[in-house]
Each structure stands twice: as structure tokens, then as C-alpha cells.
A and B are shown apart, each in its own frame.
Chain A
Amino acid sequence: MDLFVIQILNSLYYASTLFLIACGLTLIYGVMRIVNLAHGSLYALGAYVTAGVVLALDTIHPAVVFLLLPAGAFAAAAGGALLEPSILRPLYQRAEEYQLLATFGLLLILEDVMRFLWGALPLSPSTPADLLGSSTILASTYPNYNFLVIAVGFVAAAGTWAFVYRTRFGVLVRATSQDMRMASALGVDVKRVYVQAFTLGCFLAGLGGAITVPISGAAMGMGVDALILAFVVVVIGGLGSLEGAFVGAIIVGVIRTLGINFFPEVELAILYLIAAVILLVRPVGLFGRP
């Protein structure tokens, strides 16, 4: 029984992280129809910035580290706000292969920028997680910090949903996503919506990296690995769908947890196979609009 509870918590923990990454990916695709291969690198950037800041300042006061956690999210958002107008904007009218390639180039650049700034060795700023200690659930102990990550994931999901469906900005985003030309003709500043949506997407990815770095650390290649899992989430849920990213993240989170326990060899293969099968049966994903 307690094992079951722990597994559910682990699934939710995975799902929270994955949702934060996939949500930005799907938002960016939904609005500007670009598959951003560098998205995982922004997640890694968030992790590295928070790790660097926490490791540098965690001796000041224990409470300070919690205030420092979001630093990575803001750094990734700033990165996004710079990259969209400079690299992506000239490419919207071009063929998809160029967009994929440009973001692939961006991925290579970001990987090395992070290697340059923080070195090739992994960083593990575990202070925030240590400070919170762990609690006992039935007979097992579970780190309290993981509850924080799960909470952040759900708050981010609710916040993004409210943002997109309950604010004026959300109306503009959805209008642009449905028909960019019509929105533009009706006076929407499409360029601004693009840069805002892209920044928001990068913020969420950075938040994903920042919030999980006290548990899993920051290491080279984490962005490349994360991107491909976020891809699976987005493909299952439907490219461009927020609800899809949420459900997809939970599905992938549960399968990963089951996989690690029961079929570790084929855990990843099963995820990719599910993504492939969904693409075959329903290419728009579970929640995508045809």
C-alpha cells in the first residue's frame, strides 16, 4: 500500500517536471507553429542558473535559497525574449526544415554556452531539498521537497490555463493561434504576441529546470534528454494543446514510474512506441484539433 502511494507521488513528480517543459513546447507550437528543438536547452539553462546562484549564495541564510529558486525561470524567460526576435522571427515564412535546423543550431550553441559558463561537471545544489527534510508516509519516507515540485507543477498548470483562457492576453494568443492573418488584420500586434508567448514558454521550461535542480542536479546533455521526453508528452496530448500537455505529462509520468519498477529495459522504448502509435492512429494527439 505504502509502495503504491510512493509510486503515485513519483509519477506526479515526473509529471510536474514534464508538464512544465512540454507546456512551453506546445504553447510555442500552438501559437507560432514552430517545433523548438532548443526548448530542452532552455530547461537546462533554468537548472544551471538556479544551481549556480544557489551554490554561490546558499551560505547567507537558509531561507534565501527558496527566494533564489525562480532565478533560473527568469533567466530562461530572458533568453527566450532575446532569441525569438533575433533568430526565429526571420524564419516564420520559411519552410519547416529551416525552422527545425535553426533551432537545432540554437541547441548546439546553448549547450556550449552552458558548458562555458558552468563547466562540464554536474552541479548538485541540494541545500533547498535538504532544508525541507522528509516526511513519513505510512512506512516509507518521502522527501518534502518533491511535494513542492508537484505543487509548483499543478499551480503552473492552473496558472497557464487561467492565463490562456481567462485573460485578455490569452484571447490574443488564441486568436493568433487560430488565424494569424485575421488576428493581424483585426489589429492584434502579432509580433508582440509571438515574443510574449515564446517568453512564457521559455519561462515555464526554465521553471521546470529550476525547481527540479535541487533533486536531480544540472548536467550536460540534460536538455537533449528532456526535449525528447517532452516531445513524447506533446505528441500524446496533441501538438498545440494545453490540456493535452497536462494529460500527456501524467500518462508519461505514470508509465515512467511503472517502467522503472517493472520493465526498466524497455521503459523508454515503450514511451516512444506509444508516441508513434498515437501519431499513427490520431496524428493530432488526444486533445489536438484536427
Chain B
Amino acid sequence: MSVMGPSANPVFTARRFGWVILLAIVLVVLPWVLPPYQTILLSYGLIFAIAALGFNLLLGYTGLLSFGHSAYFGVGAYTVAFLVKYLHTSSMELFLIGGIVASAAISVLFGVICVRYTRIFFAILTLALSQVLWSLALKFYWVSGGTDGLRVPTPSLLGGLVGATKDKVAFLSHTYYFVILVAFAACVGVMWVIVNSPFGKALQAIRDNETRAAFVGIQVRRFRGLAFLISGLFTGLAGTLWAPLNGLVTPDIVYWPFSGRIVFLTVLGGFRTFTGPIIGALVFNYLETYAIAATTYWQFVLGAILVVLVMAMPAGIVGTVGRLGLRLRRAT
């Protein structure tokens, strides 16, 4: 059994299926139960969960630490902003197509360069490349709006059938929440299939022992490149969904601390499990929101949590809870 990362259990038991159905029902009903603010907050959490899910394909399953995932999130978001600014469209379908195409293109470009290296060099290379995009977004202010950013209006769905007729909050907390929820469900499903496919198994083999993986005939660099592309696509999609929700796209989301935040929330949940990044993203989202509301020094709170996490709970929330559960079951 692997000790390095998630050893995904492909057995999709009836019990697990039951839990997933229950969770899906809860998520669908929530907008009618929760106040709009809470639904929108949850939407942010789900978007970060998509980004983290993609990020973890590299960290958890392939063993590559990217410190530049802000690049793909940023490309997804800025593509939406550019579509609004230059094509004067607000069609969500166009946003999605544009965001996916653009983040795929940039992931292929960066991926080809980055997968030649591993470990710290991979981390720094991804960081350097993401900062190229950040400095462009910052300096070409007549294109990108500079630090003021670009506004993104409420999108219209299905060619205007469902549009911005209602007020913005109602739209975001109901219609748009379901757009995000459907995307989230699709991403979780696709990622589940990927990590349990022969391709996913090959990635885990590369992570555990690159030399052995190469010896059994796995094309290491090509598989890493593919994982990089998928990872960038997921994070880019998250950025695409985030732009209309946030309504404003600024260079902050391409700056390197944003990449650090994606790493943070993934490790918070536990990068050695499939559900870890999802839980981590949701928990981090609430944590950050309430820390900001509670104190001016919220960064201190998050930093302290991160240091304690690394020191005392390296397996993250899901890993630690799983271990505790295992111990309890053994004890009884």
C-alpha cells in the first residue's frame, strides 16, 4: 500500500452511493433553506473545491507541487473578463468555452515546459511562469484594467433564456448556484473516473517510484504532461466560474500568494485523499470569511493555522478524521 499519497479505493459501495445521493439532495435543497448570502458563500467554496480538485491531481496523485496554479485560475477568469470587454457578450456558454480553451492552451504551453523537472525546480518554474502572467495583467492596464481590474456583469444562460432579469443577488444565489453545482458535480465525477482509471493508476505509480514506473513502460513525461493539462483545465474552469460570481477580476488572483492559498486549502483538507481538497476548500472558505469578519489580523490567524497544521496534522482534516475513525473502529 502506498504511504505517499491517496490510494483511491475504486469500490463504489452501496453505502458510499447512499451518502453521495444524500449529499446531492442537501446541496440541491440548500438555496431554499439558506439565506442568499450563505448560498453565495457556499458557491465560492464549491469553486475553490474545483480548483483544488484539479490541483491535487498534480500534488496528491502525480507528486508534483505546483506553486503557480494562480496562472490557470487567472486565465480562466480573465478570459471571461476579456469576452465581456471586447466581444460585449455575457453568455455563460461562451464564457465556459472561452475559459476552457484558454486555460487548456496555457496549461499545454506551461506544462510542456514544467514537466521536464520535478520537486523544487518544478515548484519554482511554475511560480516563475505564473508571475509572467501576473506582471502582464498588472502592467498592461489598458487591456486588463491594471489593479482596478475588469468588471464582469451577471451572465445570461442558454442564449438569454435565463438571464439577468431578476436582481443580482437572487440570480447568484439560485440560478448561478446551480450552474456551479452542476459543474462541481461533473468535476468530481470526472476526477473520480480519472484517478481510478489506468491513467490515474499510472500517475500514482510515477508518484511512488518514477524509475519503476518508467521500467514497466509508462511514458513518465507524457503522463505528467497530461496530468498537468487536466489539472490546469480544472483550475481554469474554476476561474471561469468565479469571474461572474465575484463580478470583478483583479491581478490578485494571478499573484503568487493566491497559488499558496490553493496549496494551503488542499493540504488543509488532506492531499492524500480524494475528498481532502474538496473539504479543505469548503472549510478554508468559511474560515477565511469568518476570520476576515472577526479580525483585521485574519492573515495571522490563517498563517498560525497553517503552521500548526504542518506541524501537528500533516494528513489534513480528512486524513486525520479517517485515522481517528480507524482507531475507534479497532478499539470497539
Contact = CB atoms under 8 A, between A and B. Distances in A.
**For this complex, into which size category does the number of interface residues on chain B fall?**
35 or more
Interface in A209-268: 224, 228, 231-232, 235, 239, 264-268
Contacts of B123: 35, 96, 100
B296 A231 contact: no
Quick one: which of A87, A239, A279 has the most chain B CB within 10 A? A279
A276 B136 contact: no
B139 A266 contact: yes
Nearest to B133: A269
A276 B59 CA distance: 21
B300 interface: yes
B303 interface: yes
A264 B135 CA distance: 11
Interface residues of A, number: 43
A279 B267 contact: no
A269 B306 contact: no
Interface stretch (B27-35, B187-195, B257-265): B257-265
Interface in A76-130: 87, 90-91, 94, 96-98, 100-102, 104-113, 115-116
B128 A268 contact: no
User: Chain A's interface: helix, strand, loop or mixed, by majority?
Assistant: helix
Contacts of A269: 132, 135-136, 139
A104 B116 CA distance: 25
B140 interface: yes
A97 B263 contact: yes
B149 interface: no
Contacts of B136: 266, 269
A100 B67 contact: yes
B59 A97 contact: yes
A275 interface: yes
B128 A104 contact: no
B314 A98 contact: yes
A227 B309 CA distance: 24
Given A105-B306, A280-B113, A97 B267 contact: yes
Interface in B222-267: 255-257, 260, 263-264, 267
A142 interface: no
A224 B117 CA distance: 25
Contacts of A265: 139-140
Contacts of A275: 124, 128
Contact of A276 (B128, B297, B307): B128
A102 B267 CA distance: 11
B307 to A, nearest CB: 4
Contacts of A137: none
A105 B298 CA distance: 12
A232 B263 contact: no
Contact of B304 (A104, A105, A235): A105
Quick one: which of B119, B125, B128 has the most chain A CB within 10 A? B128
Interface string B196-221: 00000000000000000000000000
A105 B65 contact: no
Contact of A115 (B135, B139, B297, B307): B297
Given A91-B310, A280-B113, A104 B125 contact: no
B268 to A, nearest CB: 10
Contacts of B135: 266-269, 272
Contacts of A264: 139
B103 to A, nearest CB: 19
B307 A280 contact: no
A283 B117 contact: yes
B23 interface: no
B139 A268 contact: yes
Contact of A108 (B124, B131, B306): B306
B264 A231 contact: no
A276 B132 contact: yes
A97 B125 CA distance: 15
Nearest to A38: B303
Interface in A272-290: 272-273, 275-276, 279-280, 283
B127 interface: yes
A35 B256 CA distance: 15
A107 B119 CA distance: 21
A37 interface: yes
A96 B65 contact: yes
Interface of A: 35, 37, 87, 90-91, 94, 96-98, 100-102, 104-113, 115-116, 224, 228, 231-232, 235, 239, 264-269, 272-273, 275-276, 279-280, 283
8 contacts: A35-B124, A97-B267, A100-B123, A102-B306, A105-B304, A113-B300, A265-B139, A269-B136
